[in-house]
Structure formats: structure tokens, C-alpha cells
Amino acid sequence: MILKNLHTENKPVQTQLLFEPKDAKVISLQIAKGKTLKEHISKIPALLVCISGNAVFTNEKGTVVNLNSGTYVMIEENVKHAVKAIDESNFLLMK
């Protein structure tokens, strides 16, 4: 399957639940070119893996991570963070 094909709506930020294990979630996330997943807080640790595209992860601690195909970032719980897509970008979010 191709992750990009899961996102068929004309929306700048889209998610699609892939499967939901008993105690965790894996979510497909797509962000359109030039758009931002707005700043928010995760109540549990998460792993964000870039599948394709080019984006920048930032958090309130001053961490900046350039994300492109095959790169990832660990998201700390209770720390504000955001993701801005430089190009259309696809991710897997595991929490």
C-alpha cells in the first residue's frame, strides 16, 4: 500500500488511523506543502517517522529537527511542538 493514497481529502493536514494495537496507536499523517501541524502537546511520548517529503519539527525547548525520508524524532510528553512541511510530507506517528 502507498501511504499517500490514504489521504484523498483536499485538506492541508490529514490523518488516517492505520491500526490500533491494544495499548498504542500508529497514525499516518500528511501535511501539505507550506502548511503546519499547529503547536500542541502530547500527553504521552511519541515517535514521528518521516516517510517522504521535507519538514521541520520544533518544540518549546528550542529543538529543531529537519525531517526527510527515513528520519525521525522522539516527541517528549507534555512539551509543546509543531511540524511545518516545506514540501508535501508523509509521516508515521506512533504513540
> For 48-95, what is each residue's pLDDT tens digit?
999 999 999 999 999 999 999 999 999 999 999 999 999 999 999 999
| pLDDT value at residue 91 | 97
pTM of the complete model: 0.83
Please report which confidence band the pLDDT of residue 4 belongs to, taking 50, 70 and 90 as the band edges: confident
Cα four-point dihedral sign 48, 87, 54, 61:
negative
- Name residues whose C-beta falls within 8 Å of residue 33's C-beta, 6 or more positions apart in sequence: 85, 86, 87, 88
Would you state the pLDDT for residue 1? 58
Q: What's the pLDDT at 17?
A: 83
The domain limits of the chain are 3-94
CATH top class, domain 3-94: mainly beta
Across 2-6, 26-30, 55-59, least confident range: 2-6
